[in-house]
Amino acid sequence: MSTVLRAQGLTKRFGGFVAVDDVNLSIREGSIHALIGPNGAGKTTCFNLLTKFLQPTTGQILFRDRDITRLEPAEVARLGIIRSFQISAVFGSLTAGENLLMALQRPTALPNCFWRSSSVLLSLEDRAREVARTVNLHGYFDRPAGELSYGRKRALEIATTIALEPQVMLLDEPMAGMGLEDVAVVADVIREAARDKTVVMVEHNLKVVKDLCERVTVLQRGQVLVEGGYDEISENAQVRSAYMGSEQ
Ligand code: ADP
């Protein structure tokens, strides 16, 4: 399987403090890849570096072998490396459909105002309905987003990212604070999205990681402790004692 996104020797210093320290990451095309590790391990900083919201101190980022280390965040987004927006980006008084229509009209989405599907040009609304169907929200298209369950709000938030047609979608704790039912809703959305795109997600719930993610990178104090499939990383003694607790 080819590598879609690669970080080589990625390092970020804040003054004298090294938040991300010589990290190598290799994200496989079409995979769901988890980034785990305790608070302060450097996961969010890695996301900010990959999406260029932060400039690395040293190191290189490659997207399908193109060096994107010096690109601006908007250029990286145009290439299709897109980070999910926070839940506050979902407008509760607008319907789910209106939220999607707004997402489709963001500057990064504008070149794709119309989509060709089976030789038919789809209007913005048709495209919004299509995205809603992808995340199982078609039955809620005309409902105010504020009335949706927490899980469906997160699904809508992810859908506003899917609307931008990402190649690589980065999700920062998409299941945070959710009950089992909502976790299942969002897991289905991520699985569906990963049919034709790559997903990188920060996730604390190891059961979710085990069920959903083909690859896992464990960060510790800014460095990669271990990377591999769930079974591989869970064999690592340090991972077991530091992160798994009752999951062992
Ligand atoms: P995680 O997402 O794994 O919890 P972060 O990437 O948020 O970790 O943070 C890694 C470390 O870098 C933490 O110790 C944090 O305090 C530090 N850090 C993050 N951003 C900054 C910043 N802008 N200035 C100084 N230190 C920062």
pLDDT, residue 80, reads 93
Q: What is the pLDDT of residue 117?
A: 47
The CATH number of residue 243's host domain is: 3.40.50.300
Ligand 1 centroid–CA 222 distance in Å is 9
**pTM, whole model, 2 decimals?**
0.88
ipTM > 0.95? yes
Give 172 Cα–ligand 1 centroid separation in angstroms: 14
Maximum Cα–Cα distance across the chain: 56
> Do 35 and 153 belong to one domain?
no
Residue 127, φ and ψ in degrees, nearest 5 = -65, -40
Q: Where does ligand 1 bind, in terms of residues with CB under 6 Å?
A: 14, 17, 19, 37, 39-45
Q: Which atom of ligand 1 is nearest the CA belonging to 15? A: 25
Domain span at 35: 1-80+168-248
> What is residue 142's predicted lDDT score, i.e. its pLDDT?
97
Domain-terminating residue out of 103, 132, 165: 165
Q: Residue with the nearest Cα to atom 23 of ligand 1?
A: 14
Closest CA to 247 of 189, 233, 115: 233
- The pLDDT, as a whole number, for residue 87 is 54
Q: What is the DSSP string of the chain?
A: --EEEEEEEEEEEETTEEEEEEEEEEEETT-EEEEE-STTSSHHHHHHHHTTSS--SEEEEEETTEE-TT--HHHHHHHTEEEPPPGGGS-TTSBHHHHHHHHHTSTTTGGGSSEEETTEEEPHHHHHHHHHHHTT-GGGTTSBGGGS-HHHHHHHHHHHHHTT--SEEEEESTTTT--HHHHHHHHHHHHHHTTSSEEEEE---HHHHHHH-SEEEEEETTEEEEEE-HHHHHT-HHHIIIIIGGG-
Q: Are residues 53 and 172 in the same domain?
A: yes
Rounded to the nearest angstrom, the distance between the alpha carbon of 170 and the centre of ligand 1 is: 18
Torsion sign across C-alpha atoms 188, 31, 248, 243:
negative
Question: Position of tokens 């590790």?
Answer: 37
* Sequential pLDDT tens for the chain (248 residues): 799 999 999 999 999 999 999 999 999 999 999 999 999 999 999 999 999 999 999 999 999 989 999 999 999 998 999 988 655 578 999 999 999 998 888 755 544 444 444 434 568 889 899 999 988 899 999 999 999 998 899 899 999 888 888 999 999 999 888 888 889 989 999 998 898 999 999 998 888 999 999 999 999 999 999 999 999 999 998 888 876 664 44
Together in a domain, 172 and 157: no
The reply to whether 102 and 216 lie within a common domain is: no
Question: Ligand 1 centre and the CA of 105: distance in Å?
Answer: 32
Count of structural domains, the chain: 2
Residues 89 and 161 in one domain: yes
B/e letters for 154-165, b = 16+ CB within 10 Å, e = fewer, are bbbbbbbbbbbb
Per-residue pLDDT at 34: 97
> Quick one: 243 and 190 in the same domain?
yes
pLDDT at 88: 59
- Enter the tokens of residue 123: 């209007």
Report the atom number in ligand 1 closest to the C-alpha of 20: 10
